[in-house]
Amino acid sequence: MYIQQAFKSLHEWWRYLVGFIIIFLASQIGSIPLLMAVTFKVMTDGGDIESIQDPNVLMGVLDSNLTLFLMLLSFAVGLLAIYLVVRYLHKQSFVQLTTSRRKTDWGRVFFGFGLITITTLVVTGLDYYSNPEDYVLQFDLVPFAILAVIALIMIPLQTSFEEYLFRGYLMQGIGVLAKNKWLPLVITSVVFGALHLANPEVDKFGNIIMIYYIGTGFFLGIMTLMDEGMELSLGFHAGNNLITALLVTADWTVFKTHSVLKDISEPSTGFDVVAPVFILYPIFLLIMAWRYKWRDWGEKLFGKVEEPIVIAEENTPNSTYIE
């Protein structure tokens, strides 16, 4: 079992508390370059420093490519902190945080990536063909090439940070402490969604958008528990954010980029928000369940998490875990 992996490392409750604090502080330190760059630009232009407290103003001060890089830098620093915390505070290998398999299954990573990428391209293409007046073609080779380099490097680090924090570190930590699977699934999904409250999409759509964010957290969490590893969620999350940053932007999104298209339509706050959660996500789960032969949904999502029996072999420094 994926959550049981944590029992093979140091898993006292205080380690997860200290580890979470270290990871949080590291990610905040990683955001300092963005704040410094924006503050310097505002002061140079003679603007009001207090205005940068508004996220919309903060994101519009610098060139969008530079803003994207500096914004994603905090996630890269946070991911490094997760690695160090897991490696040295918990004495756990990164593979054990990633999956219950002996090694990371990159085929699963690329399958999750491809599934959402192909779906997004098809849906966006159909919408562009049906409603061309809703889009502006803004492709500019040089800014787009710079965006592509930044996005290909930094966005997988950003999404990996979120996955390793929520579907990895906290999922395992809460699971071994609560001794069940449903509580870490609920907590990590709700907290994951709540952390998106500061996104500009919330101002545009209202609180109904939280159905999408929290629903996405549940979707990624279910995927991780059913597949006994994070590979699918790592690929899916990276594909979703990367193709969005490169393909379509809008004035009301958190990623304001030099993408190929700009959506100028007025988004609806009803069906379009909940459709991915209640239509697309179940279809994706069924596709994955068929491909990877998922069984026993009740046990994998709501079952108990029991510590493996450790049998110390005579004259052997290692122990054998019986699950």
Mean pLDDT computed over 10-18: 96
d(CA 188, CA 185): 6
Give the model's pLDDT for residue 187.
97
Give the model's pLDDT for residue 3.
94
Mean pLDDT computed over 63-90: 95
Domain span at 100: 3-322
Q: How many domains does the chain have?
A: 1
Q: What is the pTM of this model?
A: 0.91
CB 128 within 8 A of CB 122: no
Exposed (0-12), middle (13-18) or buried (19+): which is 5, by Cβ within 10 Å?
Answer: buried
226, 258, 254, 251: which is closest to 240 by C-alpha?
254
Mean pLDDT computed over 242-258: 89
Q: Phi-psi bin for 91: left (phi > 0), alpha (psi -120 to 50), beta? A: left
9: pLDDT strictly greater than 90: yes
270, 241, 229: which is closest to 98 by C-alpha?
229
**Model confidence over 77-136: pLDDT tens digits?**
999 999 999 999 999 999 999 999 999 999 999 999 999 999 999 999 999 999 999 999
Mean pLDDT computed over 263-289: 88
Q: What is the mean pLDDT of the chain?
A: 90
**Model confidence over 185-201: pLDDT tens digits?**
999 999 999 998 888 78
Sequence-separated contacts (24+) of 17-26 with Cβ below 8 Å = 18/89, 19/85, 19/86, 19/89, 19/90, 19/169, 19/173, 20/169, 20/170, 22/81, 22/84, 22/85, 22/89, 23/78, 23/81, 23/82, 23/85, 23/165, 23/169, 25/81, 26/77, 26/78, 26/80, 26/81
Give the model's pLDDT for residue 323.
45
318: pLDDT strictly greater than 60: no
